[in-house]
Amino acid sequence: MSSKLQIGIFVVILVAIGLGLTVYKAAYLGFPLTPGEKQKIWSVEATMDFVADGDQPVKVSLALPDIQDNYAMIEESSASPDYGASQAIIDNTRWVVWAKRKASGSQKLYYKLKFYYDSKIKSDYNIHEKPDREIEPYNFTGSSKLAAESLLTLVKDRSADNISFTSGLITLFNSDEPFQNVKMLLGDKPSEKAKLLLTTRMLSIEKIPFQVIRGLYLEDGKRKQNLTSLLEVYDGEKWVLFDVKTGRIDMPDNFVIWQRGGDYLFEVRGGHDSKIKFSVIENYVPAKQIAVLDQDATLLNFSLYILPSSEQNAFKSLLLIPIGALVVVFMRILVGLKTSGTFMPILIAIAFTQTKLLTGLIMFIVVVAIGLVIRSYLSRLNLLLVARISAVIIVVIGIMSTITILSYKLGLYNVLSITFFPMIILSWTIERMSILWEEEGAKEVLLQGGGSLIVAVLAYLAMTNTLIQHITFNFPELYFVVLALIIALGKYTGYRLLELRRFKSFAEED
């Protein structure tokens, strides 16, 4: 009883650990439960061009985006040839600084970053934060001064607070038939940049706190774009967002903020004619890749992903063996199939994964059949066991090479994978089957051989299932569950499926 209880507790703990870790990885780290799941990812590239002055060191700074709502940032890279790159935080803004002792002619610098949507991510930006700097009123000169003043009076009369004032200004600047004064200040067909500049100047005269937000719409195929500027105005309690084209807006869904406030986006020392362009490319990557790239998950620092990819691949097949073992345990304890050798079917199944099922099955049967014929001759020679097994091994290698050469000549290239069969296992299988044949007859050989093949095929099907492959590799903690299952099956005292048939006569009476 106590051993039963112990096993019960053990199994519950194992299942809890396994499922707990799996749920944690799936729900919090974003590991996909199915192999097909893909996630959209936006690659943003900033390209900065400038001409180096040539006579002094070059130092280029570029403001970088901070953590923001709903978007995760990964794979940041600021590598540019010949430039030393470093990051610094100045005035709460992240900057990348490129520097070079000597440069001449036109220069190109790159900064790359990837975004993906993740609703769990929140920035630490406080929308209620009070503006902390004094606003310098802009001084219009000459005729502009009169025009600006009359516009200010007009908008001020029609507004109640900072927000309605800003809205009034934007409406005025975007009117289809603008006032004469607006035309004078902005000219015909004004650019958005000009409208933004004028709005901020007007706001500064009224001492209304504002800041410019520079950001990017994540849309595929945007190439050589400038950042989009939005305006934020403080209403005495919180910051309110405006678009100088349309007025008051909510934060657009696909907008990522590159820089909030700040007087300039980048600075070039020791160069001139500088300009910066942004490109956005949208693509889909397996969701797992993103989860792995997530730097924060400490669990991942001790996972298989830290291994080089060749070792990862080795583990991929290694981690399938417990699945094969589970199939064997299941078939033997619950179904009651006889197999020749307990775990021989797993090894055959592993060979099948290399050779593909049909080729593997045919080759297995051919090799074992030829082996049995040759073994029956060896048995007449009256050899000692070890010598006989060794002879069978050599014969098996001979059969395998002959089959390979013949099929190569015949153009059956997939037969070449025959070398993946474990020779020692094949030899022992031949030996065991041959003894079985002598002692119990051909029927028992077919029974046990067939049983082994059925289990091997089932194990193969389980091991090659893409979902199972995906889960075993990405959620290795589920092995606790497999282990628990195998331990629990080890205490199963019920009937085996085939026993129901064996003892059928008892159930048929009365």
Partner 1 sequence: MFKIARKLSAKGIIGMNQRNIGYIGKYNSRKLYPLVDDKLKTKIIAEDAGITVPKLLGTIVYQFQNNEKYLKKIIADLNGFVIKPSKGSGGKGILVITRREGDIFFRPSGQPASMQDVIRHISNTLSGLYSLGGKPDVAMVEALVEFDPVFDRYSFEGVPDIRMIVFRGFPVMGMLRCSTRASDGKANLHQGAVGVGLDIGTGTALNAVQFDQPIESHPDTKYNFKELAVPHWDKLLPLSASCYDITNLGYLGVDIVLDKKIGPMILELNARPGLAIQIANNCGLLPRLKKIEALSDHKLSVEQRIEYSTREFSAD
Give the burial class of 494: count Cβ atoms within 10 A of its Cβ; 0-12 exposed, 13-18 middle, 19 or more buried.
Answer: exposed
> Which residues 406-445 are close enough to bind partner 1 by CB under 8 A?
435, 439-441
Q: Which is nearer to partner 1, 37 or 440 (CB)?
A: 440
Question: Do β-strands 38-52 and 84-90 pair in parallel, antiparallel, or remain unpaired?
Answer: unpaired
- With binding defined as CB under 8 A, does residue 482 bind partner 1? no
- With binding defined as CB under 8 A, does residue 507 bind partner 1? yes
In the numeric block, which tokens belong to residue 98?
Answer: 């490129």
3-state secondary structure 438-502: HHHCHHHHHHHHHHHHHHHHHHHHHHHCHHHHHHHHHCHHHHHHHHHHHHHHCCCCCCCHHHHHH
Shortest spacing between CB 481 and partner 1, in angstroms: 21
Q: What are the CA-CA distances from residue 52 to residues 103, 111, 414, 443 (Å)?
A: 6, 18, 60, 88
- With binding defined as CB under 8 A, does residue 495 bind partner 1? yes
- Out of 1, 176, 382, 409, the only residue in the binding site for partner 1 (CB under 8 A) is 382
**Number of residues in contact with partner 1 under rule CB under 8 A:** 25
- With binding defined as CB under 8 A, does residue 2 bind partner 1? no
- Contact (Cβ atoms closer than 8 angstroms) between residue 347 and residue 422: yes
Residue 310 Cα to chain centre, angstroms: 18
Residue 114 bridge partners (DSSP): 43, 74
- With binding defined as CB under 8 A, does residue 385 bind partner 1? yes
- With binding defined as CB under 8 A, does residue 502 bind partner 1? yes
CA dihedral 325, 327, 331, 337 (to 10 degrees): -70
Q: Tell me which stretch binds partner 1 (CB under 8 A): 55-63, 81-89, 312-320, 499-507.
A: 499-507
> Which residues 441-460 are close enough to bind partner 1 by CB under 8 A?
441
Shortest spacing between CB 490 and partner 1, in angstroms: 8
Q: Which is nearer to partner 1, 19 or 333 (CB)?
A: 333
- Out of 105, 384, 409, 411, the only residue in the binding site for partner 1 (CB under 8 A) is 384
- Contact (Cβ atoms closer than 8 angstroms) between residue 428 and residue 386: no
Q: Which is nearer to partner 1, 221 or 494 (CB)?
A: 494
Shortest spacing between CB 8 and partner 1, in angstroms: 14
- Out of 5, 160, 386, 410, the only residue in the binding site for partner 1 (CB under 8 A) is 386
- With binding defined as CB under 8 A, does residue 75 bind partner 1? no
Interface characters, 269-298, with partner 1 (x: CB under 8 A):
------------------------------
- With binding defined as CB under 8 A, does residue 316 bind partner 1? no
- With binding defined as CB under 8 A, does residue 376 bind partner 1? no
Shortest spacing between CB 387 and partner 1, in angstroms: 9
Q: What are the CA-CA distances from residue 174 to residues 177, 381, 388 (Å)?
A: 9, 104, 96
Q: How far apart are alpha carbons 29 and 118 in whole angstroms? A: 11
Give the burial class of 90: count Cβ atoms within 10 A of its Cβ; 0-12 exposed, 13-18 middle, 19 or more buried.
Answer: exposed
Interface residues with partner 1 (CB under 8 A) are: 333, 336, 382, 384-386, 435, 439-441, 491-497, 499-500, 502-507
